[in-house]
């Protein structure tokens, strides 16, 4: 597991995907600190890593990255850690268009495509 504070390449993500799930890399985004944690077996493990690093749970959103896919399908907004009725998110996805856009911005900043 790794916290990405600079940039990561698609090739690095491809290697991570091959090592665990084949086609995807689980990731957690801190939308307030512009950080990305990657390469965990569970989103909750990546969430814990970022919380230990100073992130606040309400700023963390789980996604899946598909390094061999282009366009909008590169990011999949699906994780159990996203289920937060207290924050108005009642699904495993990310219901807020604003938060989805913030996630996309962090991924664009941290993943060299």
User: Domain count of the chain?
Assistant: 1
DSSP state string for the chain: -EEESS-EEHHHHHHHHHHHTSS-EEEEEETTTTEEEE--SSHHHHHHHHHHTT--GGGEEEEEE-TT--GGGGEE---GGG-BGGGTB-SSS---HHHHHHHHHHHHHHEE-
pTM: 0.95
What is the distance between the alpha carbons of residues 107 and 44, in angstroms, rounded to a whole number?
Answer: 19
Q: What is the pLDDT tens value at each position of the chain, 113 positions in all?
A: 999 999 999 999 999 999 998 999 999 999 999 999 999 999 999 999 999 999 999 999 999 999 999 898 999 999 999 999 999 999 999 999 999 999 999 999 999 98
Q: Determine the structural domain holding residue 88 and report its residue range.
A: 2-112
């Amino acid at each position: 597991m790794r916290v990405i504070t600079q940039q990561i390449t698609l090739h690095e993500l491809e290697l991570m995907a091959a090592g665990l799930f084949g086609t995807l890399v689980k990731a957690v985004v801190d939308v307030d600190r512009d950080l990305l944690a990657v390469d965990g077996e569970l989103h909750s493990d990546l969430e814990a890593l970022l919380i230990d690093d100073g992130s606040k749970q309400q700023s963390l959103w789980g996604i899946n990255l598909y390094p061999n896919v282009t366009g909008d399908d590169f990011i999949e907004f699906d994780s159990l850690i996203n289920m937060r009725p207290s924050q108005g998110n009642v699904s495993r996805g990310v219901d807020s268009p604003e938060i989805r856009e913030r996630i996309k911005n962090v991924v664009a900043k941290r993943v060299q495509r």
